[in-house]
Amino acid sequence: MPRLPDHVSYITGAASGLGLATAKRFAQEGATIIGADLQRADGWDEVEGLSPQSSFHILDVREEEPQREAIAEAVAKHGKINSVVTAAGVAGGGFVHMLDLAEWQRVIDINLTGTMLSVKVCLPSMIEQRAGSIITIASVEGLEGCEGGSCYNASKGGVVILTKNLACDYGRAGIRANAICPGFIDTPMFQSAIMGGMGEERAEPIKFQHKLGRWGQPEEIAGAALFLASEDSSFVSGVALPVDGGYTAGHQYGSMAELMGFE
């Protein structure tokens, strides 16, 4: 039995990576998808289970009005928005004394302000319904620092606190808000920013800190989003949920794994 029957979800960043994986999983579970991204996904129309009622909007999450129009169209057509998943985001960072202000602003505007605007346009419908699930995509780097993280970490830390505030502000209206904090997930952005920038050998220590010993997959984040969108999480709100293969569990040095024969 589908877990999201008669469900309408607004998913940003839906053209690739976490957004596309989430759109696919939600569609398979019966949801109608309102997708949005700067460009249309090549395989969008071939997404398994995608309802003919689903739609895709080419827009920039930094702009409020195009998103408002997309949601107004969806509400007029479907009568509601059940969930929003804010998967649109960019990488960026650098040491602060070398960081260009324009780069700082770009990352903050897309990752944090864009998240706020995507949620904002969905809230009137959710308030009227007295129900809804807000699912923001933050990061483990929004929970703890890392060298060179600067604007990216600040933006994702902002997403975490924004989400907690949303849970406080709208819980009495029946609206839940939770942040997913992925570890390092094998997406096109990961391949470009991490593997392309560092190379596999230099990235190995980062993979090592994932206690499961591997990079995550987009479908694993989609599974967490499905839980938070469904009634299975009906009493879950205000949570920053690491989906990180144990990355934030603590420090790992390798000696015990070797001693126990796990390597």
- pLDDT higher at 114 or 259: 114
Average per-residue pLDDT for the chain:
92
- Is 262 part of a structural domain of the chain? no
Nearest to 8 by CA among 94, 85, 109: 85
Residue 252 — very low, low, confident or very high, per pLDDT cuts 50/70/90? Answer: confident
> Please, which pLDDT band fits residue 147 given cuts at 50, 70 and 90?
confident
Residues taking part in catalysis: 152
pTM, two decimals, is 0.94
Domain assignment present for residue 208? The answer is no
Q: Residue 257 has what pLDDT?
A: 60
Q: Could you tell me if residue 130 is inside a domain?
A: yes
Nearest to 143 by CA among 135, 155, 131: 155
Residue type, 132: G
69-117: pLDDT as tens digits: 999 999 999 999 999 999 999 999 889 999 999 999 999 999 999 999 9
Residue 78 lies in a domain: yes
Looking at this protein, which amino acid is placed at residue 31? A
Residue 261 lies in a domain: no
Residue 150, Cβ neighbours under 10 Å: how many?
Answer: 20
> DSSP secondary structure string, 117-142?
HHHHHHHHHHHHHT-EEEEEE--GGG
Average pLDDT over residues 222-236: 98
Determine the structural domain holding residue 14 and report its residue range: 8-186+217-247
**152: pLDDT strictly greater than 80:** yes
Task: Count Cβ atoms within 10 A of the Cβ of residue 93 and give its class: 0-12 exposed, 13-18 middle, 19 or more buried.
Answer: buried
d(CA 62, CA 83) in angstroms, rounded, equals 19
Give me the CATH number covering residue 182: 3.40.50.720
- 3-state secondary structure at position 151: helix
* pLDDT (tens digit per residue) in 158-182: 999 999 999 999 999 999 999 999 9
Q: Is the pLDDT of residue 187 over 80?
A: yes
Question: What average pLDDT does range 180-195 have in this prediction?
Answer: 82
Q: Count helices and strands (H / E) in the chain.
A: 10, 7
Q: CB under 8 Å to 227, separation ≥6 — which residues?
A: 233
pLDDT-based confidence at 204, cuts 50/70/90? confident
Based on the structure, what is the number of domains in the chain?
Answer: 1
Report if residue 191 sits inside a domain.
Answer: no
Q: How far is CA 68 from CA 41, 57, 86, 91, 216, in A?
A: 21, 11, 15, 25, 33
| 24: in domain | yes
Q: Give domain status of residue 2, yes or no.
A: no
Residue 205 has, within 13 A of its CA and on its CB side, a CA count of: 5
Residue 34 belongs to what H/E stretch? Answer: strand 32-37
Res 41: pLDDT: 72
